Chains A and B, each alone.
Chain A
Amino acid sequence: NAGVTQTPKFQVLKTGQSMTLQCAQDMNHEYMSWYRQDPGMGLRLIHYSVGAGITDQGEVPNGYNVSRSTTEDFPLRLLSAAPSQTSVYFCASRLRGVDTYNEQFFGPGTRLTVL
């Protein structure tokens, strides 16, 4: 298993540009989510999905869109990049479970700079 993969690893954008951060997992996980991490901070939840076709907002959703057309993929779209979106972005996934504990798996991150 490749686990959770993210592309690109690094990206530089100009203010106002749009782009899509890719995330894929090969573990057949129902739950997928996007976090951002600013310097010296913990991770903050942007959007999440509990299954194909279902998405919802997390703590800091403004300026980002997501969709989930397949179980494997969960892309994050920046509509009009702003310097405040300069951050490291992590994608995560886990099995859906109610009675059992399921650890969350994280991708290696995408480091985004908006000039």
Chain B
Amino acid sequence: DAKTTQPNSMESNEEEPVHLPCNHSTISGTDYIHWYRQLPSQGPEYVIHGLTSNVNNRMASLAIAEDRKSSTLILHRATLRDAAVYYCILKWNYGGSQGNLIFGKGTKLSVKP
């Protein structure tokens, strides 16, 4: 199974950009790269996903390396509300073509005022 490697924790200052890295050197050609986050005492929520090209949405940007062996989630201006655990996920598994997400331990992002 393709695995992801993320730093255990990162710190950021409020209103500064944050770059959250993820290594996935064994990614296969059909694996999406998903990012979810989990705010304290809440369930995970979707952030962004991509396959090959860089992606932007209202929450974040996803920069994908040309060889797809790594990616970076970019929060353009961190707020205190962005303090959460961020999960980089490759695998849908269990249940067919999309199935269910397989979570690792993620990166705990702290945001300082």
Contact = CB atoms under 8 A, between A and B. Distances in A.
Given A42-B105, A45-B102, A109-B43, 9 more contacts: A31-B100, A42-B104, A43-B44, A56-B95, A59-B94, A96-B98, A98-B98, A104-B101, A106-B44
Contacts of B100: 31, 33, 45, 48, 58, 92, 104
Q: How large is the interface on A (under 10, 10 to 19, 20 to 34, 35 or more residues)?
A: 20 to 34
Interface string A18-31: 00000000000001
Interface residues of B, number: 24
Contacts of B94: 45, 48, 56, 58-59
Given A44-B103, A92-B100, A108 B95 contact: no
Leading 3 A-B pairs by shortest Cβ distance: A106-B43, A42-B103, A103-B46
A101 B33 CA distance: 11
B100 to A, nearest CB: 5
Interface in B38-73: 41-46, 49
Interface of B: 32, 36, 41-46, 49, 87, 93-106
Nearest to A57: B94
